Amino acid sequence: MKKILLLTENFPPKEGGSGRWFWELYSRLPRENVIVVANDTAEGRLFDESHDLNITRVELESAEWGVASFKGIRFYINTILAIRKLIKEHNVKEVHCGRVIPEGVVARVLKLLSGTEYRCFVHGEDVETAATSREHSLLVKNVCKSAKTLICNSENSAGLVEKLAFETKHKCEVLHPGVDVARFVPAPPDEAFRQKVRWHDKRVLLTVGRLQRRKGQDYLVKIMPQLLTEFPNLFYAVVGRGECKEELTAMVEQNNLHDSVGIYSDMNDDELIQCYQQCDVFILPNRTIANDIEGFGMVLVEAQVCGKPVIAGDSGGTRETMDVGETGHIIDCSSPDSLLNNLKRLLNKASITDDRVSIADYARERFSWGNHVKKAQSLFER
């Protein structure tokens, strides 16, 4: 296998699905063939003491990703010089970019300077967001056209590339994120844990993910008073951090939902898995906001591997995470009313399966990292 350099700002301990995806994938490749370049933070350096993956930390945060400003130009020059040095030192044959912008722009210039090939990961929301800027859109098209491969996390993301970066469909390869099936497993009821997190004997809807509008936690908290009139034993558990936490907390206060909504922003990995295992239904009520979409929805896969039925918004690539109608349901979450009506319909019926074994078996077979790593290695060797 050739020597690979993964360039990504999004990498543990930074939270987020794409960073976790990169860690799970590249930590399973032969150590001698992988170098990771990730953002330099004190937390990152501490994290690196806990594993043996070859990681170099450099400053990858920038307020400007374009090339029409001094800040943007300075960021790219500094990053390009640092990566070029590492490529020479380690005889790197290929650069893998965590996103089209800014990492892909760095790799595009390096290819011009030294001929080093590169591949770009595409998550959906990144190329959609870039489309809002003429400058960024031009950069996306240039980077995509020169890339060896565009690794898309879903068919939906591949479709966005085709729409926004012309003449690059032939370069798209879909590689879904996987899940660690040794850690994410079904478990028997744990009354002690449910008491600890205030779930008690309630019917728990769980959402895991960054607290941001497109994830839809705000709409679900908003309709909880109406849901509780019909389902008084319902509890909504929200796990994550993000810019909408204050707003969500205020909504809970204003509607006196303390006994029916819990926001958990300090869960460790083990507690997160317990949440998946002990909830009743997992829901990601995502919606499209402007150009911000859910590219895939790894949390939906993690919930299913733990044997839980899932519900997701009909936006982005969520449909690709489940066997629709069997292990989960896709609903319209574009407004509070549509979310309310669809949830009432599902919660009132026996359409949400209790066949936990079949759900877990489906997700394990389709999304285990063992299968995904083999596909990735085959792709990287081309």
Across 88-97, 238-247, 259-268, 353-362, least confident range:
353-362
| pLDDT for position 225 | 98
Give yes or no: residues 150 and 207 share one domain.
no
| pLDDT for position 223 | 98
Q: How many domains does one find in the chain?
A: 2
pLDDT one-digit tens code per residue, 253-289: 999 999 999 999 999 999 999 999 999 999 999 999 8
Asked, for residue 374, whether it belongs to a domain, the answer is no
> Phi/psi of residue 256, each to 5°?
55, 50
Give yes or no: residues 279 and 132 share one domain.
no
Asked, for residue 354, whether it belongs to a domain, the answer is yes
Q: Which of 147, 175, 203 is the last residue of a domain?
A: 175
Give yes or no: residues 149 and 195 share one domain.
no
What's the number of CA atoms in the CB half-sphere (13 Å) around residue 324?
A: 9
What's the number of CA atoms in the CB half-sphere (13 Å) around residue 183?
A: 12
Most confident of 132-136, 166-170, 301-305, 354-358: 301-305
Q: What angle do CA 11, 17, 22 make, to 5 degrees?
A: 45
| pLDDT for position 290 | 78
pLDDT one-digit tens code per residue, 224-247: 999 999 999 999 999 999 999 999
Ordered strands of the 234-239 beta sheet: 261-264, 234-239, 203-208, 281-284, 310-313, 328-331
Give yes or no: residues 165 and 254 share one domain.
no
Task: Give the position of tokens 């779930």.
Answer: 199
Asked, for residue 298, whether it belongs to a domain, the answer is yes
Asked, for residue 32, whether it belongs to a domain, the answer is yes
Domain that holds residue 165: 4-175
| pLDDT for position 351 | 60
CB 305 within 8 A of CB 364: yes
Q: Partners of 39 in the beta sheet?
A: 58
Give yes or no: residues 118 and 13 share one domain.
yes
Give yes or no: residues 213 and 105 share one domain.
no
The percentage of residues in the chain with a pLDDT greater than 70, rounded to a whole number, is: 97
Give yes or no: residues 227 and 171 share one domain.
no
DSSP code string of 115-171: --EEEEEE-SHHHHHHTTSHHHHHHHHHHHHH-SEEEESSHHHHHHHHHHSTT-GGG
Give yes or no: residues 72 and 160 share one domain.
yes
Across 19-23, 83-87, 131-135, least confident range:
131-135
pLDDT one-digit tens code per residue, 112-131: 999 999 999 998 777 776 76
Asked, for residue 371, whether it belongs to a domain, the answer is no
Ordered strands of the 117-122 beta sheet: 55-58, 34-39, 4-8, 94-97, 117-122, 149-152, 172-174
Q: In the predicted model, is pLDDT for residue 8 greater than 80?
A: yes
Asked, for residue 243, whether it belongs to a domain, the answer is yes
According to DSSP, residue 17 is labeled H
| pLDDT for position 165 | 67
pTM of the complete model: 0.87
- Mean pLDDT over residues 39-43, rounded? 96
Give yes or no: residues 26 and 106 share one domain.
yes
Q: In the predicted model, is pLDDT for residue 166 greater than 70?
A: no
| pLDDT for position 350 | 62
Give yes or no: residues 150 and 36 share one domain.
yes
CATH number, residue 329: 3.40.50.2000
Question: How far is residue 32's CA from residue 157's CA, in Å, rounded to a whole number?
Answer: 31
Higher-pLDDT residue of 237, 62: 237
| Burial environment of residue 132 by CB neighbours within 10 A (0 to 12, 13 to 18, 19 or more) | exposed
pLDDT one-digit tens code per residue, 199-213: 999 999 999 999 999
Give the burial string for 5-17 (b: 16+ CB within 10 Å, else e): bbbbbbbbebeeb
Q: Which two tokens stand for residue 341?
A: 């009506």
Give yes or no: residues 27 and 114 share one domain.
yes
Asked, for residue 247, whether it belongs to a domain, the answer is yes
Q: Which of 143, 175, 207 is the last residue of a domain?
A: 175
Asked, for residue 42, whether it belongs to a domain, the answer is yes
Rg, Å, the chain Cα set: 21
CB 166 within 8 A of CB 177: no
Give yes or no: residues 227 and 334 share one domain.
yes
| pLDDT for position 162 | 80
Across 142-146, 301-305, 333-337, least confident range:
142-146
Instruction: List Cβ<8 Å contacts ≥24 apart for 16-24.
Output: 16/210, 17/177, 17/209, 17/296, 17/297, 17/298, 17/299, 18/98, 18/99, 18/121, 18/123, 18/153, 20/177, 20/298, 21/153, 21/177, 21/178, 21/298, 22/98, 22/121, 24/177, 24/178, 24/180, 24/369
Q: In the predicted model, is pLDDT for residue 311 greater than 80?
A: yes
pLDDT band at 299 (very low <50, low <70, confident <90, very high): very high
